[in-house]
């Protein structure tokens, strides 16, 4: 007997309903294949254009996100994921993107309610000790340059975070929920895939497993917010807030630092220092999720 769907996830049915007429797993697998093809082909075209108009240094900067332009292009390219999902749900489930996101008005309202609460939380955390990251932060972009780029930077981060939520908490989660009753499957499997996508032992070294675990937990918390709210708005807000801090405010110096106001005084190779702050990130992530839950109850 399948595990019954918890009553507090009743709102999730509004997202799953249009996927139920075509719940076959082969549709999801073929759809993911279609997304992969769309993303791969369009990224190859984009990279060819970047190389064609620039040098090898420009191409390398594009891959690592070491310059503002490279980061804006790199983050915006996640729009290819959203395009791929749109094609997959239309062709294989006869759905619109609106059904994946949930009611636009409700999603936008929930996004703002959660994001506003997270901004307040961020300000509270910022004024509490400790007041540094273990060593003085290194300025990366001048304040005037950072502020000038901020509208484009915010849009690029929103494109990137929305795309990941549309794929994992949207398409995959909803497709599995249309086939399986148990949240263990339709919340757990997308979170494991999300963790796998963030497992990078070549870059993270001994911290790769801990980062993957962090990503899996983030996926579960975002899935919970989606199932409780009935839209992707709260999950996108949580993801956007997290990446805004990590990509636009304080970034690691060795990767994706092109839009950051400051960079940390250590990089991924300093495993002990990074691991210590990862534990802090776990705590902040859980507090952020609880804050989002409270904001949605208002």
Decide if 140 is inside a domain: yes
- Report the chain's terminal Cα–Cα distance, integer Å: 36
pLDDT for 128: 77
**Total-model pTM:** 0.93
For the chain, strand residue ranges (E) read 138-139, 250-251, 262-263
Contact between 154 and 119 (Cβ < 8 Å): no
CA distance 222 to 17: 20
Residue 62: which H helix or E strand, with range?
helix 56-64
Task: Give me the number of domains the chain comprises.
Answer: 1
CA distance 239 to 219: 10
DSSP structural state of residue 201: H
Q: Which pLDDT band holds residue 1 (cuts at 50, 70, 90)?
A: very low
pLDDT in tens, 78-104: 999 999 999 999 999 999 999 999 989
Decide if 227 is inside a domain: yes
DSSP 3-state percent helix, strand, coil across the chain (nearest 5)? 75, 0, 20
What is the residue range of 104's domain? 7-296
Decide if 1 is inside a domain: no
SS3 call for 151 = helix
Q: How many CB atoms lie within 10 A of CB 45?
A: 11
Closest by alpha carbon to 66, among 270, 263, 234, 281?
A: 263
For residue 285, what are its two tokens?
């992530």
Decide if 2 is inside a domain: no
The answer for residues whose C-beta is within 8 angstroms of residue 61's C-beta and 6 or more apart is 67, 70, 258
pLDDT for 48: 86
Q: Does the pLDDT at position 131 exceed 70? A: no
């Amino acid at each position: 007997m399948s595990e019954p769907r918890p009553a507090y996830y009743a709102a999730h049915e509004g997202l799953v309903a249009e996927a139920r007429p075509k719940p076959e797993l082969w549709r999801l697998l073929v759809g993911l294949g279609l997304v992969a093809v769309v993303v791969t082909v369009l990224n190859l075209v984009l990279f060819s254009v970047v190389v064609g108009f620039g040098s090898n240094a420009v191409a390398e900067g594009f891959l690592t996100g070491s310059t503002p332009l490279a980061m804006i292009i790199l983050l915006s390219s996640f729009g290819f994921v959203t395009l791929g999902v749109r094609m997959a749900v239309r062709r294989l489930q006869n759905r619109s993107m609106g059904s994946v996101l949930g009611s636009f008005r409700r999603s936008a309202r929930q996004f703002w309610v959660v994001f506003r609460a997270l901004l307040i939380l961020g300000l509270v955390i910022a004024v509490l000790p400790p007041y540094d990251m273990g060593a003085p932060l290194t300025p990366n972009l001048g304040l005037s340059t950072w502020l000038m780029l901020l509208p484009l930077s915010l849009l690029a981060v929103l494109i990137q975070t929305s795309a990941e939520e549309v794929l994992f908490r949207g398409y995959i989660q909803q497709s599995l929920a249309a086939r399986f009753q148990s949240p263990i499957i339709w919340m757990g499997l997308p979170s494991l895939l999300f963790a796998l996508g963030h497992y990078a032992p070549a870059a993270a070294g001994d911290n790769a497993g801990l980062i993957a675990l962090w990503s899996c937990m983030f996926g579960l918390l975002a899935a919970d917010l989606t199932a409780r709210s009935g839209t992707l708005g709260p999950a996108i807000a949580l993801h956007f807030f997290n990446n805004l801090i990590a990509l636009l405010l304080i970034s690691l110096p060795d990767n994706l630092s092109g839009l950051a106001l400051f960079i940390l005084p250590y990089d991924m190779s300093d495993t002990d220092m990074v691991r210590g702050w990862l534990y802090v990130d776990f705590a902040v992530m859980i507090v952020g999720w609880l804050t989002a839950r409270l904001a949605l109850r208002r």
